[in-house]
Amino acid sequence: MSALTQNMNYLQPTNFKVVIDHSKFGNLEFFAQRLIHPGVSINSPSVPFKRIQTITLPGDTLTFEDLSMDILVDENLNTYIEVFNLIQNMVTENYESPMAKSSKTGSAMDITVTITSSHNNVVKTIRYIDCVATSIGTILLEATSETSPVITFPVTFRVGYYEIK
């Protein structure tokens, strides 16, 4: 029997935990409310061939989309301040080559997402490698909110590579 027919339980959207391997993100792993897994594509070159249409060849380069998370905002804004400080520090540091900056300041980090089963057992681990925070989204404060009482803000990371185990 194949693995597909042995386990007919579907992935639940709430069965995940985020761990960010960076000392400046102590609060985010506890407050990640939503995660949008990045897509991946292959750049396929087209080659002209005699008087026929171009021929598309298999690509040799993977392109990863951005990783996005919605983070819960605590009343002291600690989660927001962590991300803001990291992005601000990346911009205000003295200019160095990207490789020297990454290794020296630790601006690139790994992010691990653990997927659990319906019985809360770890079934898969996704490791996003060499991630860099690239943007912080808006926080909406409104006195007449009829939506969820939970306030979140989006954070986007550029991903160097990811692996699923």
Residue tagged 């989309």 (tokens): 65
More confident residue, 51 or 111: 111
Q: Is 83 left (phi over 0), alpha (psi -120 to 50) or beta?
A: alpha
CA–CA distance, 75 with 141 (Å, rounded to integer): 12
pLDDT tens digits, one per residue of 43-63: 888 788 777 778 777 888 888
Q: Which of 118, 3, 137, 1 is nearest to 73 (CA)?
A: 137
Q: Is the pLDDT of residue 68 over 60?
A: yes
Q: What is the pLDDT of residue 146?
A: 72
CA–CA distance, 8 with 63 (Å, rounded to integer): 31
Q: Is the pLDDT of residue 137 over 90?
A: yes
Predicted TM-score (pTM) of this structure: 0.77
Q: What is the pLDDT of residue 165?
A: 94
CA–CA distance, 86 with 42 (Å, rounded to integer): 31
Report long-range pairs for 72-75 (Cβ below 8 Å, ≥24 apart).
72/31, 72/32, 72/33, 72/150, 72/151, 72/152, 73/31, 73/139, 73/151, 73/152, 73/153, 74/27, 74/31
Lowest mean pLDDT among 14-23, 87-96, 127-136: 87-96
Q: What is the pLDDT of residue 27?
A: 66
User: Do 38 and 66 touch, CB atoms closer than 8 A?
Assistant: yes
Residue 152: Cβ within 10 Å count:
19
